[in-house]
Amino acid sequence: LQNLFKQMQNETLSVSKLKETLEARRSSVWYSTFEPNYKALEAAGELFELLHSLNFKCSSFENGIENYSNSWYKLDMYYRLYQFHVKNIIEDDFSELTKKVENFYINRYVIPVNESWQKQIDVVEKWKGSLQYPLQNDFYSSFVEAEFSSVRNLKHLVVIVSDALRYEVGWELYNKATMLDKVKASISPMISMLPSYTQLGMASLLPGKSLEIDSKGNVLRDNKSTSGKDNRKNILETVDGSAIKADEFLGFNSKERKEFLSKYRVVYIYQNKIDSIGHKKDSELQAFEACNDTVEQLLTMVRKIITANRYNIIVTADHGFLYQKKELDGADFNTETPSEPNTIYKDRRFIIAPSISKSSSINVFTSSQLGLQGNYEAAFPKSITRFRLQGSCSLFVHGGTSLQEVVLPVVKINYNTKREGASDVEYKLDASTSSIISTSVLALSFSQTEAISSAIRQVQIRVELVTENGDVISDSHDIILDSTSEKFSERRKKVSLTLSSDADKHNNQEVFVVVSKNVPNTSQYVIEYRVPYTLKRTFTIDF
């Protein structure tokens, strides 16, 4: 592990070679103990490799959205995964590698990409979407009503709105959703309204046409208040819809879920894990843990919705966010913070007031330019800088114009009881030269019969040695069969089972190698098969 660490620190180890090494170690006794260390190294490797291969320039507004949603988001994802795993490392000191990851992420990616993107923001005359990249204000017509039109005989739809579900976190959800049985999933980008903050984002996702921020900072949809679940529910009732919070929905039993969902054409479920944790001074350092928990809870909700016989789901967000672990310095703050009379709303990444003085360090848009009703202006610090404010969070921020804040995920999840979908990869336990176990270690190998592809998905299996009565007499190993290689020799995984002292009690008896397959996105395993062996050791362990 130390050797891998040094090579990663010096960038002398390719990601493909690292993955090959980690795969070989996955079957080792100590892998699970050091799994966070390995996963942190892998995330760092992916980050470094992308930094060397991608060009962070955008030639137009649409090109910036395209580049971010196609590839740049991966840098945010691998940075998040590195920081998530490095908090759980065992023994090793990753401090120097963490400094390098932090420095590379901010100075070689976040700043350059948003400085290039800023050139496109500087020439924006009106904030708008396109046919390919819809504006958030058109979400209901572009996605909800469009789904009813495109899916034959669709009568019910569930929309999950996850507060601060950044595009890269939405992509992780999409990727895991594709592993669910009989599920087809897709992801597409949507452009957030400005300012990219909760009140406006939540209002934009509702049915309706006009949006306005009133003199008290309240956001109105067609002149109706959108503050809180109850007001949003009132608006949804106009389209035979309703709204509910995620915790309340998850608290239902199966009968209650079915009864609730059966009453409405459209149901909005509001989840708030990332923003509630990231946007508090005392918990913003836990933002990435909240991202992980959010994805897991979203998958749980998806499964519960499907078991309630609702097969069409859209997951989206009110806004994204900027986030870094490293403490900010003076250069991270805007050179000046507008201080206007009668300010309507002020945050780290935007300010709304009746009129705002122009400056070279900020972008100022009128409400009309932002597609909002009323007569006021909004100012945004350029690139990723923050306004100076007392007491508010500075590491986790949103509301501004950066790609991380304004490119939102729209994840469609469709379940079909008749859909075959991607099938689990087939595999086999390679034939052994003997069915006799005569030593304290049993070496096994498994082979994928085919490569992973869009039609063939990976599987995770668990291997252990048990007695006729089901007592486990060895250590247990998990193997992920996920090779995309066309070469059969490269699709083989090896594992060594070490027998426990209890195995001696079963000498000269028949025992079994039990292979179980993981049920995707759960902790459950289903036994696939049992292979008989005879335990016949001349020398047993003496305790």
Ranges of H-type helices in 398-518 = 403-406
Contact 496, 442 (CB under 8 A): yes
Q: Helix %, strand %, coil % for the chain, to 5?
A: 35, 25, 40
Q: Which of 1-5, 239-243, 326-330 has the highest mean pLDDT?
A: 239-243
Query: Residue 496, Cβ neighbours under 10 Å: how many?
Result: 16
DSSP state letters, 77-99: HHHHHHHHHHTT--S---HHHHH
Confidence of residue 83 (pLDDT cuts 50, 70, 90): very high
The pLDDT of residue 543 is 34
DSSP state letters, 54-75: -----SSHHHHHHHIIIIIHHH
Residue 432 has pLDDT above 80, yes or no: no
The pLDDT of residue 542 is 41
The pLDDT of residue 325 is 85
- The angle subtended at Cα 68 by Cα 159 and Cα 368, nearest 5°, is 70
Number of H helices, E strands in the chain: 17, 23
Q: What is the largest CA-CA distance in the chain?
A: 89
Tens digit of each residue's pLDDT (9 = 90 or more) over 168-202: 999 999 999 988 888 989 999 999 999 999 999 99
Query: Residue 174, Cβ neighbours under 10 Å: how many?
Result: 20
408 HSE (CA, 13 A, CB side): 35
The pLDDT of residue 6 is 81
Q: To the nearest whole number, what is the mean pLDDT of the chain?
A: 90
Confidence of residue 375 (pLDDT cuts 50, 70, 90): very high
Q: Which of 91-95, 108-112, 357-361, 498-502 has the highest mean pLDDT?
A: 108-112
The pLDDT of residue 329 is 82
Q: Give me the percent of the chain exceeding a pLDDT of 70.
A: 97
Q: Interhelix angle for 95-105 vs 2-9, to 10°?
A: 30
The pLDDT of residue 100 is 94
Q: Looking at residues 466-479, what average pLDDT do you find?
A: 88
364 HSE (CA, 13 A, CB side): 15
Q: Give me the percent of the chain exceeding a pLDDT of 90.
A: 60
d(C-alpha 485, C-alpha 501), whole Å: 39
CA dihedral for 57, 63, 69, 70, sign (positive or negative)? negative
| Residue 493, C-beta contacts closer than 8 angstroms, at least 6 positions apart | 23, 26, 27, 445, 446, 447, 479, 481
Contact 254, 308 (CB under 8 A): yes
Tens digit of each residue's pLDDT (9 = 90 or more) over 436-455: 888 888 888 888 888 887 67
Residue 536 has pLDDT above 80, yes or no: yes
| Residue 482, C-beta contacts closer than 8 angstroms, at least 6 positions apart | 425, 452, 458
Least confident segment among 3-17, 135-149, 247-261: 3-17
The pLDDT of residue 539 is 57
Q: Looking at residues 36-56, what average pLDDT do you find?
A: 92
426 HSE (CA, 13 A, CB side): 2
Q: Looking at residues 124-143, what average pLDDT do you find?
A: 94
b/e for 471-490, b at 16 or more Cβ within 10 A?
eebbbebbbebbbeeeeeee
Q: What tokens does 440 get? A: 């304290």
The pLDDT of residue 420 is 62
The pLDDT of residue 439 is 87
CA–CA distances in Å: residue 320 to residues 65, 189, 217, 333: 14, 12, 20, 20
d(C-alpha 69, C-alpha 325), whole Å: 23
Least confident segment among 245-259, 354-368, 412-426: 412-426
Confidence of residue 164 (pLDDT cuts 50, 70, 90): very high
The pLDDT of residue 407 is 98
> What is the pTM (predicted TM-score) of this model?
0.80
d(C-alpha 46, C-alpha 326), whole Å: 20
DSSP state letters, 290-326: HHHHHHHHHHHHHHHHHHTT--EEEEE-S---B--SS
CA–CA distances in Å: residue 302 to residues 73, 139, 232: 24, 20, 22
Q: Looking at residues 274-288, what average pLDDT do you find?
A: 90
- The angle subtended at Cα 416 by Cα 413 and Cα 420, nearest 5°, is 110
Give the residue carrying structure tokens 């030593």: 439
42 CB-contact burial (10 Å; exposed 0-12 / middle 13-18 / buried 19+): buried
The pLDDT of residue 104 is 95
Q: What tokens does 520 get? A: 């995707």
Residues in a beta bridge with 372: none
Residue 476 has pLDDT above 70, yes or no: yes
